[in-house]
Amino acid sequence: MKVLQLGKFFPIKGGVEKVEYDLMKGLSEHGIDCDMLCTSAKKSEQQINDHAKLFCVRTWTTIAGTTIAPSMITRLWRTCREYDIIHVHHPDPMACLALFFSRYRGKVVLHWHSDIIRQKKLLGLYRPLQRWLIQRANIIVGTTPIYIKESEELKDAQHKTAHLLIGIEEIAHNFIGAQKLHELYNGRKIVFSLGRLVPYKGYSYLIEAAQHLPDDYVVAIGGTGPLYEELNRLIIDKGLENKVKLLGFVKDEEVSAYYTACKIFVLPSIQKTEAFGIVQIEAMSGGKPVVATTIPGSGTSWVNAHGISGLNVTPKQSKELAEAILEITKDEDTYKRFCKDARLRYENEFTKEQMIKGAINIYNTLKDTKEHA
Domain residue limits, the chain: 2-167+352-365, 175-349
HEC secondary structure over 32-63: CEEEEEEEECCCEEEEEECCEEEEEEECCEEE
pLDDT digit string, tens, across residues 25-46: 999 999 999 999 999 888 999 9
Residue 219 has pLDDT above 90, yes or no: yes
Q: Which of 218, 235, 219, 238 is nearest to 227 (CA)?
A: 235
CATH architecture of 175-349: 3-Layer(aba) Sandwich (3.40)
Instruction: Considering only CA atoms, give the Rg of the chain.
Output: 21
Does the pLDDT of residue 371 top 60, yes or no?
A: no
User: Which CA distances in Å does 108 have to 27, 291, 363, 370?
Assistant: 17, 36, 10, 12
| Backbone angles phi and psi of 307, in degrees to 5 | 80, -5
Which of the two residues, 8 and 227, has the higher pLDDT score?
A: 227
Fold match between domain 2-167+352-365 and domain 175-349: yes
3-state secondary structure (DSSP) of residue 92:
coil
pLDDT in tens, 313-356: 999 999 999 999 999 999 999 999 999 999 999 999 999 999 99
| Homologous superfamily in CATH for domain 2-167+352-365 | Glycogen Phosphorylase B; (3.40.50.2000)
Share of the chain above pLDDT 70, in %: 94
What is the spatial distance between Cα 370 and Cα 373, in angstroms, rounded to a whole number?
8
Question: Mind listing the pLDDT tens digit for each residue in 136-178?
Answer: 999 999 999 888 898 888 999 999 999 999 999 999 999 999 9
Q: What is the pLDDT of residue 368?
A: 65
Mean pLDDT taken over the chain: 92
